[in-house]
Chains A and B, each alone.
Chain A
């Protein structure tokens, strides 16, 4: 097992624990629940083996489903997200991006990173809440939950990324 996979595994465990123990308990205004584990999917570098990415996503979904008693919901939506992430990231890549470019706030710049993260997170939330409710009858609530949760998740992600960038700057200086 390489150092990279080990780091990824640690992030995996930390995100799952944070989600199960703390974040699943947050229901801001009855609608918004941060689904921070999506962050894990956003961080896969360019040219990462696609099969491995899919397996990671599926495993992440399975663990989170087990914690929240929603078998299949996060699994299905995270696997879908994992399938489109490599192609979607290419849209935002800077022209001079290196082969194993890692998506981050410092690498993309603020505007591009926000575009990349917000669209993927919103897409995930829409799929997740549609599968959870399993019908479009209550479409207002579906849109509200997805939008509010995506916003809250994005807030967490941007805070984390900012923190990471500042730390990098500290190390560099």
Chain B
């Protein structure tokens, strides 16, 4: 016993070393599992506040450019709406259909505007922090979009901040998407590297499309409504197993320069997921 105590007294720092390393490794692995420690992430209140100040300072200098981009985009969309409304009116003689349907579409979704307070694009598995949390109605698994396209899915939520898994996360981000106007669907996968390009996997071999076609969210995952911009097809490859196509897309969202985003709060999703869980449960019950 005395020897043991002497041994401990002499080598106590190695004991401490092992203890701290074990704590680190626990942290390392715990975070990878779902719903890890919100405390040791940038959703923690102190870190979030600090990052918010920084992004406030930065935005002060970039506001002009953002404004220009937004008004350009606004102008473009307004033109498009106008063209489409005229075309639709010409075809059906029903000139108010767009207004009515537009309102109906918006009623289903509630958008929570948020600001990106910290973001990275250079790692293999990037994460992003936004300044809205459970107090603002943000919940885990809600979709996040910005003015130009899809951004990601909420991963961790604290009172005032949330961590989002953006599409630029090679490990955890798989967003279900489809080729606009043609309907073939696959999933969006980023493999690291260039922050403006990603791949759409699992497009069937018999699909017909062209380079330059737009890829949008499919709406199957019920996280995103259908039709949110993802990107434009640049190149077409065969998948490694040769059973499907792999499309290289230029992402519509500029992740390196992202500031204002919206969290999609879709009331109907709750019902949808409940139904899905009920179906899974009943399947399990019949199997037993």
Q: A residues bordering B, Cβ < 8 Å?
A: 20-21, 24, 27, 30, 33, 50-51, 54-55, 57-58, 61-62, 65-69, 71-73, 75-76, 79-80, 82-83, 131-133
Q: Which of A30, A33, A75, A132: most chain B CB closer than 10 A?
A: A75
Chain B: interface residue total (CB-CB under 8 A): 33
Assess whether B29 is interfacial by the CB under 8 Å rule.
Answer: yes
B163 in the interface (beta carbon within 8 A): yes
Choose from B13, B21, B30, B47 the contact partner of A67 (Cβ within 8 Å): B47
Chain B stretch 14-29: residues in CB contact (< 8 A) with chain A: 14, 16-17, 20-21, 23-29
A55 contact set on B, CB distance < 8 A: 16, 20
> B219 within 8 Å of A by Cβ?
no
Chain B 83-123 near chain A by CB (<8 Å), digits 1 or 0: 00000000000000000000000000000000000001011
Q: Is the Cβ of B27 less than 8 Å from the Cβ of A71?
A: yes
Are the C-beta atoms of A62 and B54 separated by less than 8 Å? no
Known: A66-B40, A75-B23, A83-B14. 8 other contacts (CB 8 A): A21-B54, A51-B16, A54-B13, A67-B42, A72-B25, A72-B29, A131-B28, A133-B124
Given A73-B28, A75-B24, A27 and B17 touching (CB < 8 A)? no
A27 CA to B121 CA in the complex, in Å?
10
CB-based closest 5 A-B pairs: A72-B28, A72-B27, A76-B24, A50-B13, A75-B24
Q: Is the CB of B26 within 8 A of A54?
A: no
Asked whether A66 and B16 contact (CB < 8 A) given A76-B24, A76-B28, the answer is no
Does B226 have its Cβ within 8 Å of any Cβ on chain A?
Answer: no
**Binary interface profile of B, 33-58, with partner A (CB < 8 Å = 1, else 0)?**
00011001110100100110010000
Structural contact, A83 and B28, CB atoms closer than 8 A: no
